[in-house]
Chains A and B, each alone.
Chain A
Amino acid sequence: MIVAERKPYEEIRAMLAPYKKVLVFGCGGCVTVCATGGQKEAEILAEELKLTDAKDGVSREYVVKTVERQCEREFLAEAASEIGAVDAVLSLACGAGVNLLAEAYPKPAVLPAMNTTFLGVNDSPGVWVERCKGCGDCILHTTGGICPVARCSKNILNGPCGGTHDGKCEVSDEIDCVWALIVKRLTETNALDGYRRIVPPKDWRRGGHGGPRKMTREELIK
């Protein structure tokens, strides 16, 4: 899923300052799965904002709504009347949803309540970790399913570097050295012969360095 975290409260307060009627807009997709931007979180944020408004003597109206996903126009349309009735939408969707919202509804101010961070998985209750960088050229079949592009702090394709200590990355003791994991996996599955092959330099265009990307399914285009 796409993982996003709610922005610091003060930043959100500052963003809302010019607006009088705000839609606190939750998303039922990824941000619900990582428990930061779904219906629950949208309602909680709205209540917090009301409390602070009362304390600061600010008069502002809030509407709260959550749709299935904010990355699809049809779902956004379900909130069309609410969106039309406010002067700002505080979206708890990831950056993609916020972009689409702004594109589909140019009138209200569109404010991001979240900082979108990474593509990841739920490692254990309450913990989400980065697992994919969207590099557009997956090599997981050569590394036992463990990604060096996403998990090596130096994006090394012929790793490990000399910074590994006790199986951890030079950058932090909390980060596993992914190459130590890959080597272990390849050793356990008797696939270490591939290790000696020199992986050539990557074409980073497929990873977004050639400009914003697009994907199409021709047969679905109307």
Chain B
Amino acid sequence: MAEGESASWRPRIVAFCCHYCAYTAADLAGAARLQYSPSVEIVRIPCTGKVDVIFLLKAFTSGADGVYVAGCLDGDCHFISGNIRAKARIAAAKNLLAEAGLEPERLEMFQLSAAEGDRFRLLADEMTARIAKMGPSPIAKRATGE
């Protein structure tokens, strides 16, 4: 268990992963039987450029404690610049989270290549540890009646 986790609470993390890089890296991790945090729920998207700010906010209002978007490295995006747009949107969404009263660190964007199965594992565990330390999001707290 990560620091902050208790028997009654595990972080719920949604990871929007682009098909071409991040999801493939996740597949590679799976094929290599690499163990990573079960708190991460993967959502496959064609490209991180598909991510709209509303998806990220709705993930939080639906109960996620943390959200990350994983996409290709600069220059590797299958759709040329989807990842660049995503970066700008995640930055804007962080500001909205801060405005709404949530820690902007609950949201992150990571970039990796399809070959980086091990890095996928590392990022999943890193984010889980980060969120576990921060504790449940206010929505989640409310849902559990804490």
Contacts and interface: CB of A to CB of B under 8 A. Distances in A.
Nearest to A57: B142
Nearest to B96: A48
A97 to B, nearest CB: 22
A47 B58 contact: yes
Which applies to chain B's interface (DSSP): helix, strand, loop or mixed?
Answer: helix
A56 B101 contact: yes
- The secondary-structure label for the interface of chain A is helix
Nearest to B88: A126
B28 interface: no
A171 interface: no
Interface stretch (B3-11, B49-57, B115-123, B125-133): B49-57
B100 A49 contact: yes
Contacts of B102: 51, 55
Contacts of A47: 54, 57-58, 60-61
A152 B101 CA distance: 40
B29 to A, nearest CB: 31
B40 interface: no
A111 B95 CA distance: 24
A182 B28 CA distance: 63
A132 to B, nearest CB: 29
23 contacts: A9-B99, A9-B100, A40-B52, A40-B53, A40-B54, A44-B96, A47-B54, A47-B57, A47-B60, A48-B99, A50-B139, A51-B57, A51-B60, A51-B97, A51-B101, A51-B102, A51-B137, A51-B139, A54-B137, A54-B139, A55-B100, A55-B101, A55-B102
